[in-house]
Amino acid sequence: MSNQSVREFKDWLAFIIGGACVILAMIPLISILVDVILRGLPALNLEFLTTGPGVIGQPGGGIANSIEGSLILVGLTCLMGVPLGLISGIFLSEFGDNKYGRFIRFLNDVLSEFPSIVVGILAYSFVVLLVGSFSTIAGAIALSIIMMPIVTRATEESLKLVPSTIRDAAAALGIKKWRSTLSVVLSTGRNGVVTGVLLAVARVAGETAPLLLTVLGSQLFFSGLTKPVDALPLRIYRLALLPYASAQQQGWGAALVLIAIVLTLNVGVRLATRGRMSSVRS
């Protein structure tokens, strides 16, 4: 075999190995989707989605309280995490070209890859111990700490894509900087910001570890901000570890509901903004 064909063979081999890596990496995703759908579908029915948990170990009962808890938690999280992340992101994009800005951006990147259970300890030590019990509000605070850096980064990246001519045009009309940032720049970069927020919502909706230390989980429906509440991921965790087949099947059912929510958000956002926001990482 000539030197040239050896080199071409290596080129071909590298292509095959690369393709094999991609396919190998796809197997878990496909298996997860197939298993969650096949095992979760039999558990799904109206009762499962509309009633609270039944007797442990017996068939029957549902996950309505967990769905409700998750919705409340995510809603409260957005109330706190989105404004904070949004304004930080605006700051970094518009005024962050200095030492302080670089420092904040660096910390933001560090925090966005942070172990979520440590955030749970933080919320536990401050909120749970202050309130005196595991509570919804503690969970929402923990989740908003996780959400904030994601929103900040997405906001910064999408505002940076806004052409500077738009800022100049606003300035030429005599519009104050703060006014043009809020009404011109932000609304031009709106799509990217919304994308980032939705991806952050998808992320916190599936977050479990900090909830273990903050909202604890509950068999009951929501009964107040300072009371424990249930959440979908927590319920999946608890059901999966129960030694009853019916409970495990309910766990798969809950997983199907959760993954449907999370993937709908992700795929929906990607389809809606295809090709435009490749720089936003979830």
Partner 1 sequence: MVERRRMGQLRRPTSDDIFVIQSGIFASAIIVVLVLTGYVLISGSIPVWSKFGTGFLTGTTWSPVREVFGALPYILGTVVTSLIAIAIGVPLSIGVAIFLSEMAPHAIRGAGSGILGWFVRTGIRILSNGIELLAAVPSVIYGLWGLFVFRFWILDYVETPLSNYLGFVPVFSGAPFGLDILTAGLILAIMIIPTVSAISREVMTAVPLAQREAAYSIGATRWEVIRMSVLGYARSGIFGAAILGLGRAVGETMAVTMVIGNAIGAQALPTSLFRPGQTMSSLIANEFNEADPTSLHPAALIGVGLVLFMFAITINVLAQLLVWRVLKIKGGTVE
Residue 124 or 222: the one with the smaller Cβ distance to partner 1 is 124
User: Do residues 146 and 116 make contact, with C-beta atoms less than 8 angstroms apart?
Assistant: yes
Residue 47 or 109: the one with the smaller Cβ distance to partner 1 is 109
C-beta of 48: minimal distance to partner 1 in Å? 17
C-beta of 68: minimal distance to partner 1 in Å? 18
Angle between helices 64-95 and 136-160 (to 10 degrees): 40
Q: Give the single-character DSSP code of 42.
A: G
Residue 154 or 209: the one with the smaller Cβ distance to partner 1 is 209
User: Do residues 197 and 154 make contact, with C-beta atoms less than 8 angstroms apart?
Assistant: yes
Alpha helices in 96-244 (DSSP H): 99-112, 116-123, 129-131, 136-160, 164-172, 177-180, 186-188, 190-205, 209-214, 232-241
Closest CA to 73 of 247, 235, 243: 235
Closest CA to 245 of 61, 60, 59: 59
C-beta of 59: minimal distance to partner 1 in Å? 18
C-beta of 143: minimal distance to partner 1 in Å? 13
Residue 5 or 46: the one with the smaller Cβ distance to partner 1 is 5
C-beta of 110: minimal distance to partner 1 in Å? 5
C-beta of 114: minimal distance to partner 1 in Å? 6
Return the bridge partners of 34, or none: none
Rounded to whole angstroms, the Cα distance separating 36 from 255 reads 7
Residue 65 or 144: the one with the smaller Cβ distance to partner 1 is 144
Angle ∠(141,151,265) on CA atoms, nearest 5: 95
Q: Give the single-character DSSP code of 229.
A: B
Residue 58 or 264: the one with the smaller Cβ distance to partner 1 is 264
Greatest pairwise CA separation for the chain in angstroms: 77
